[in-house]
Amino acid sequence: MKIDATGMEYEELGRCLRSCTDPHVQIHNCCGQRYIASGMQGRDLEIWGTPGNALGAYLDGGSIRVHGNAQDAVGDTMNAGTIWVEGRAGDAAGYAMRGGTLMIRGDVGYRAGVHMKAFGDSCASIVIGGTAGSFLGEYQAGGVIVVLGLGALEGQPVVGGFCGRGMYGGRIYLRSTIPPRDLTEKILCRRAQQADKEAIRPLLEQFCTAFGEELEPLLASPFWVLEPNPENQYKALYAPM
């Protein structure tokens, strides 16, 4: 099914999607409509244009591919499925993700991966092809965030300030020659070893297949790994995991 979203309010577009029984849906001329595919299960959606806030919120399976940019809170609290964004994304991408995979070809704004989680066999994952703004992985409780820094200036950090603040679970992988600035003693930062790179190889394979990048040059690059300090004081503030 094809939907022309020209001039549609977000409520009307939402009703069209909910009433459609086709497992494959295309939306053309999208321009800022919010809450697209909220709670969607087991369907494949392609979007041309710029979807508004909370694209794929509570996504519970299926896939979304955006041929363009996305606004704030893409993948908010998603449980399962995959979202690909061929351009950039705004603030709070992957907010409180509990599972599934979010892949963004370009840059993201502030607070990507804030409150990310993992439980049981479910591990939320974000791969950012470009750079990330400040507060990446803030209060991260689980899951994996990878920032590749494609197109970043040589010798400049691939993330903004306050990376991993309040982090008490999960890992952040940064492809960069230099570590992020202003890390606290509550975050351990070390150079990635081969085993670390192998751990993220499946995610990078998905990214390269989706966006036409070459895998081996990425894996040959230096990475930094960020994870909570075992003596992390934040941990005492939360229930045991």
- pLDDT tens digit sequence for 119-151: 888 899 999 999 999 999 999 999 999 999 999
Q: How far apart are CA 119 and CA 136, in angstroms?
A: 20
Confidence (pLDDT) at 236: 59
Confidence (pLDDT) at 26: 98
pTM (whole model) above 0.75: yes
Label residue 14 by pLDDT band (50, 70, 90). Answer: very high
User: In the predicted model, what is the mean pLDDT of residues 58-78?
Assistant: 97
Q: pLDDT per residue over 148-193, tens digit each?
A: 999 998 888 999 999 999 999 999 999 999 999 889 889 999 999 9
User: In the predicted model, what is the mean pLDDT of residues 103-118?
Assistant: 97
177-186: Cβ within 8 A, 24+ apart: 177/222, 179/224, 180/224, 180/226, 181/157, 183/226, 185/229, 186/228, 186/229, 186/232, 186/233, 186/234
Q: What domains lie within the chain, and their CATH numbers?
A: 2-237 (2.160.20.60)
pLDDT higher at 228 or 233: 228
86: left (phi over 0), alpha (psi -120 to 50) or beta: alpha
What are the beta bridge partners of residue 226? 172, 189
Cβ contacts of residue 230 below 8 Å, gap of 6+? none
Asked whether the predicted pLDDT for residue 29 surpasses 70, the reply is: yes
